[in-house]
Amino acid sequence: MLDIALLMANASQLKAVLEQGPQFSFYTPLITLISLSLSLQIVVGILLIFIVKWNLNDETQQCQLNLMENIATSCVFIIVVINIFITAFGVQRSNKN
């Protein structure tokens, strides 16, 4: 559920940045970071599906599963770091009436 919350938060932040437009000072870096975060979250989701589907008791697949788990863990760490930078750049919604 936490992954879904982060995915929705990133989508909301992307919408806020797009609404502010290219005149926003951190427009390009934020679009890049948010897109990268969303992409990595999708990759981690796909990796987790494969990890769950494969048989851990099969010794021939354990090496591949180990590698996939390491990749998923690394991607999650990178997602956390990226989201720290997204928060640091500060996405504020503009108040349009």
Give the chain's length: 97
Asked if 8 and 37 count as a contact pair (C-beta separation under 8 A), the reply is no
Angstrom distances, CA of residue 22 to CA of 11, 46, 78: 18, 32, 26
Structure confidence by residue, pLDDT tens digits, 28-47: 999 999 999 999 999 999 99
Angstrom distances, CA of residue 42 to CA of 38, 60, 96: 6, 26, 32
Residue 90 has phi, psi (to 5 degrees) of 70, 100
State the DSSP string of 17-35. Answer: HHHH-TTSTTHHHHHHHHH
Structure confidence by residue, pLDDT tens digits, 1-19: 677 888 888 998 889 888 8
Say what the pLDDT of residue 35 is.
Answer: 95
Asked if 85 and 33 count as a contact pair (C-beta separation under 8 A), the reply is yes
pTM of the model: 0.81
Segments making up each domain of the chain, as ranges: 27-86
